[in-house]
Structure 1
Amino acid sequence: LTNLESCFSLLNSFSYTELNKNPVEGFSAGLIDDNDLYRWEVLIIGPPDTLYEGGVFKAHLTFPKDYPLRPPKMKFITEIWHPNVDKNGDVCISILHEPGEDKYGYEKPEERWLPIHTVETIMISVISMLADPNGDSPANVDAAKEWREDRNGEFKRKVARCVRKSQETAFE
């Protein structure tokens, strides 16, 4: 193993151990395969008092070989209708964007990936995203348009359908 791989192993083992010893409300996380520290599966419980309440959403976190210098990618496996999740399930939030300056000038460098972020801080950001979508920077333009224009109508119906489906398929 290279020094970076050793560092990654130690960071993830610690993070994984910490999450098991001190679970954070709203999600659980673990390795998809015990032999691959770079791929994690997370279950996110829809936050209370949101349209996603009661949902059990499965996602994968895929870490790059040069983690923690670069962010992991997060992809929902469970269908979810949200302005900041594209139609393929890829999550689009600031802390998962490459570090440094935003070429579009929308995000400040400190809002983007920093090596201090952990699985816990990523999950807290995703749970926050579910509770409060960013309609100004959508990954799913159709969901963002519905969220802005018909939040209590079509948007709410689509989210409710996703929540029901997530409950039915959560433990498959």
Structure 2
Amino acid sequence: MTEPQSALLLRRQLAELNKNPVEGFSAGLIDDNDLYRWEVLIIGPPDTLYEGGVFKAHLTFPKDYPLRPPKMKFITEIWHPNVDKNGDVCISILHEPGEDKYGYEKPEERWLPIHTVETIMISVISMLADPNGESPANVDAAKEWRDDRHGEFKRKVARCVRKSQETAFD
């Protein structure tokens, strides 16, 4: 049986990341027999509130990848305007391709088949460093980030960072 194109592409991206790791994250398969489910470890970016954190997330790829984007979900608790309370990551490049029915995003800001695990992870790391308060997935975190960034928001993030360090290698 030949592998579907999506599996070949994912296998190639995984091999490339293992050969040439990218600063800020590492990636691997959750189960060696399933190329469509990855686990990533994201290191909280330096000079951000998330610095020192080790955040675990899962990437689930559709069978028609790269025509459609993967879903990304933080397994480690994280307090962030662009991550909903279930851990689902909400950023433009992970949104289905095409027109945004709400008119917030241009088609070129959304998923494009040229994106790779590396470009997704670089976007997520950038999202940690610079949240988008305009289209929040977690309204409470967005409100705190806007109104009380150095108080309650910072405290909640610090708690998540500490917790992430304790559970990083469970």
CA positional deviation for 1:65: 1.1
* Count of matched residue pairs: 164
Q: Which whole-Å CA distance do the structure 2 matches of 1:120 and 1:24 have between them?
A: 8
* C-alpha distance in structure 1 between counterparts of 2:44 and 2:149, whole Å: 17
1:167 aligns with one of 157, 165, 168: 165
Alpha-carbon displacement from aligned partner over 1:43-88 (angstroms, at most 9, x marks no partner) = 0000000000000000000001111100000000000000000000
Matched residue SS, 1:159: helix
Normalised to the residue count of structure 1, the TM-score between the two structures is 0.95
How far does residue 141 in structure 1 lie from its aligned partner after superposition? 0.1
Percent identity, please: 93
Question: In 2, Cα distance between the equivalents of 1:16 and 1:68?
Answer: 14
After superposition, give the CA deviation of every residue in 1:92-121 in whole Å (9 maximum; x if it has no partner): 000000000000110000000000000000
2:27 partner SS? strand
1:23-53 Cα shifts (integer Å, max 9, x gaps): 0000000000010011000000000000000
1:104 and 1:121 map into 2 onto residues whose CA distance is: 24
Give 3-state SS (helix, strand or coil) of 1:88's partner: coil
Aligned to 1:38: 36
Partner of 1:113: 111
CA distance in 1, matches of 2:64, 2:19: 26
> Partner of 1:103: helix, strand, or coil?
coil
Q: Distance in 1 between matches of 2:11 and 2:59?
A: 15
Secondary structure, aligned partner of 1:37: coil
| Cα distance, 1:138 vs structure 2 | 0.1
CA distance in 2, matches of 1:130, 1:107: 19
Aligned-partner Cα distance in 1 for 2:123–2:72:
12
Is residue 2:122 matched to residue 1:124? yes
- SS of the aligned residue for 1:102 comes to coil
* Alpha-carbon shift at residue 13 of structure 1 (Å): 1.1
Unaligned 5+ segments in structure 2 are: 1-6
Counterpart CA distance in 1 for 2:105 and 2:24 is 27
What is the root-mean-square deviation of aligned Cα atoms in Å?
0.3
* C-alpha deviation, 1:169, in angstroms: 0.1
Once the 2 structures are TM-superposed, how far is the Cα of residue 10 of structure 1 from its aligned partner? 1.3
Where 1:44 maps in the other structure, the secondary structure is: strand
